[in-house]
């Protein structure tokens, strides 16, 4: 654990000095300030617009950090040849991979806390109510980005930076389309239109959905921002998702992150850098 903590601390220090991180945070804060103008233009409640827009900005900015910073964690060490000096020290490769991921998770946690603090500051300035329930949604985003960053680390162990970015973005998109695909299949079956399709198409669609469920994480289960902010009935009062549902999603995220990191550590340990 000491080696993992040392790698995580050094990774956090290096990441906070990255220009791309500074640019993403600056752009995110600028968009949050712009939400005040959107609230004035909107016909809806300004407080609701600020909260909804703030959660969207926090999620997308965390995604950008997870992909681009996560891929550079290992790629930079390999390109600069600093990896050889690190591996010569008494540290296992799996500890190095896990420490890099933990450092990135610290960066993402600090970023989400900054985003939520900025949103609450803006709400205070516009005489709105602090959205403390948004911290629950931010926690879910953090675990979702844990899966995405683990995928970025995995792909960066055997692929180039460009392909790793595309693969990680594909995991994110596919992860959010799984529930939509299953819902669409269930809807077409209930309407009877699914049975009108040729048998080959039915088999391909159903088996394709099963394959997506097996090989891609269901990231849509972490998307609770709309429920937290507007509730099931669409009201603007504060809502909290039941603890059992949150705990189940967090356990799901931990399992997927552990699986992806395990594969990344196994691949990284067998890779020859000479």
- pLDDT tens digits along 124-155: 887 767 767 788 889 999 999 999 999 999 99
With a pLDDT cut of 90, the percent of the chain lying above it is: 21
pLDDT score recorded for residue 42: 60
Check pLDDT > 60 for residue 237.
no
pLDDT at 200: 67
Quick one: pLDDT at residue 33? 81
Looking at the 3D structure of the chain, how many domains does it have? 1
CA distance 263 to 266: 5
Calculate the alpha carbon distances from 20 to 17, 25, 116, 220 in Å: 9, 9, 20, 27
What pLDDT, on a 0 to 100 scale, did the predictor assign at position 48?
75
Q: What SS3 state is found at 240?
A: coil
Average pLDDT, the chain: 80
Residue pair 178/212 in contact (Cβ under 8 Å)? The answer is yes
For the chain, helix, strand, coil in percent to 5 are 80, 0, 20
- The interaxial angle of helices 93-125 and 46-64, nearest 10 deg, is 160
Helix (H, G, I), strand (E, B) or coil at 106: helix
pLDDT at 261 exceeding the cut of 80: yes
The pLDDT score that the predictor gives to residue 258 is 93
Structural Rg of the chain based on CA atoms: 21
Nearest to 257 by CA among 208, 210, 222: 222
Q: Where are the alpha helices (DSSP H) in 126-198?
A: 134-156, 161-191
Is 188 or 59 the better-scoring residue by pLDDT?
Answer: 59
- Position of tokens 């039915």? 202
pLDDT tens for residues 175-206? Answer: 888 877 777 766 666 666 656 666 666 667 66
Phi-psi region of 234 (alpha: psi -120 to 50; beta: other; left: phi over 0): left
pLDDT higher than 90, residue 235: no
pLDDT at 3 over 70: yes
Question: Which pLDDT score, from 0 to 100, does residue 203 have?
Answer: 61
Tokens representing residue 90 in the block? 């008494």
Whether pLDDT at 59 is above 70: yes
116 has pLDDT over 70:
yes
CB atoms within 10 A of CB 38: 15
Model confidence band, residue 269 (pLDDT cutoffs 50, 70, 90): confident
**pLDDT for the residue 107:** 92
Query: How large is the average pLDDT for residues 47-66?
Result: 86
Any residues with CB less than 8 A from the CB of 41 and at least 6 apart, and which? none
Pick from 228, 59, 32: nearest CA to 119: 32
* Structural domain boundaries, residue 43: 2-270
**How many CB atoms are closer than 10 A to CB 239?**
17
């Amino acid at each position: 654990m000491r080696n993992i903590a040392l790698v995580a601390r050094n990774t956090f220090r290096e990441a906070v000095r990255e220009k791309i991180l500074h640019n993403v945070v600056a752009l995110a804060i600028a968009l949050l300030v712009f939400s005040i103008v959107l609230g004035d233009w909107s016909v809806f409640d300004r407080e609701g617009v600020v909260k909804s827009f703030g959660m969207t900005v926090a999620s997308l900015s965390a995604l950008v950090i997870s992909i681009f910073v996560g891929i550079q964690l290992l790629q930079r060490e390999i390109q600069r040849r600093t990896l050889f000096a690190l591996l010569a020290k008494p540290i296992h490769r799996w500890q190095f991979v896990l420490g890099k991921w933990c450092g990135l998770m610290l960066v993402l946690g600090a970023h989400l806390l900054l985003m939520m603090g900025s949103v609450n500051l803006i709400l205070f300035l516009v005489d709105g109510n602090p959205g403390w329930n948004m911290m629950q949604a931010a926690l879910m985003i953090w675990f979702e980005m844990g899966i995405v960053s683990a995928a970025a680390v995995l792909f960066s162990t055997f692929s180039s930076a460009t392909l790793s970015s595309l693969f990680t973005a594909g995991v994110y998109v596919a992860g959010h389309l799984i529930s939509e695909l299953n819902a669409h299949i269930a809807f077409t079956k209930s309407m009877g239109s699914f049975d009108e399709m040729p048998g080959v198409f039915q088999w391909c669609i159903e088996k394709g959905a099963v394959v997506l469920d097996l090989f891609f994480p269901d990231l849509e289960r972490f998307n609770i921002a709309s429920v937290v902010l507007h509730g099931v009935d669409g009201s603007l009062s504060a809502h909290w998702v039941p603890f059992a549902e949150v705990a189940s999603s967090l356990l799901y995220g931990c399992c997927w992150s552990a699986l992806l990191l395990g594969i990344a550590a196994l691949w990284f340990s067998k890779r020859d850098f000479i």
